[in-house]
Amino acid sequence: MTPQIVLASASPRRSELLQQIGIRHVIKAVDIDETPWPHESPLAYVERVATEKSAVCRALLEHDLPVLAADTSVVCDGRIMGKPDNLQHASEMLMQLSGRSHQVYSAVSLRGDHHWQAVSVSEVRFRTLTQAEILAYWQTGEPQDKAGAYAIQGLASIFIESITGSFSGVMGLPLFETAQLLAKQGIKVIA
């Protein structure tokens, strides 16, 4: 089957989500510096990083298939949370998320005939977590490669009281916005 797009991502979640809507893709992950700039807002940050991922990927390609990239950040009290470096870092993040709401920003960038982008912002509410739960959760291996040290699609679902916004966006690729961008490039998910 011929691919419709290139997915510029090493995230297995993003590939699964694209498969969920039947978009045929090949994966070409790129490595960029994801350090936020001083005083950069979460919105500006996720847009910049997603845009850079698609640009770097596009520059490496020898063909001109459209390139899709995304970036997802957990934001609490205006602070951007990336992936945890270790147990200590994950515990700090999860204690901060415990018993309250935070936001998840997911930016999508599509480079085809033009460059299009979209951002989804969701609100996620966690119940109160205990230190023992956080340690046990870390030991499952799930938090390691996830922004904010949790996965809504995994065991962390038992910590989440409510979500307003996009489940797929929290998971890493907002499918509503992605389908809208793909349509601009003439790629239809459904007739």
Ligand X SMILES: Cc1cn([C@H]2C[C@H](O)[C@@H](COP(=O)(O)OP(=O)(O)OP(=O)(O)O)O2)c(=O)[nH]c1=O
Pairwise CA distance, residues 70 & 174, whole Å: 9
Pairwise CA distance, residues 39 & 177, whole Å: 27
Q: Which residues contact 69 (CB under 8 A, 6 or more apart)?
A: 7, 8, 9, 30, 50, 51, 53, 54, 57, 108, 109
The answer to whether 171 contacts ligand X (rule: CB under 6 A) is: yes
Look-up of token digits 């307003």: 164
The answer to whether 72 contacts ligand X (rule: CB under 6 A) is: yes
Judged by CB under 6 A, the stretch of 15-23, 114-122, 146-154, 174-182 that binds ligand X is 146-154
For the chain, what is the radius of gyration of the CA atoms? 17
71 catalytic residue (yes or no): yes
Which among 31, 33, 64, 71 is annotated as catalytic? 71
Q: Binders of ligand X among 105-144, rule CB under 6 A?
A: none
Nearest residue (CB) to ligand X, 31 versus 62 = 31
Nearest residue (CB) to ligand X, 20 versus 188 = 20
Nearest residue (CB) to ligand X, 144 versus 185 = 144
Residue 191 CB, shortest distance to ligand X, in Å, is 29
- The answer for 77, left when phi > 0, alpha when psi is -120 to 50, beta otherwise, is left
The answer to whether 150 contacts ligand X (rule: CB under 6 A) is: yes
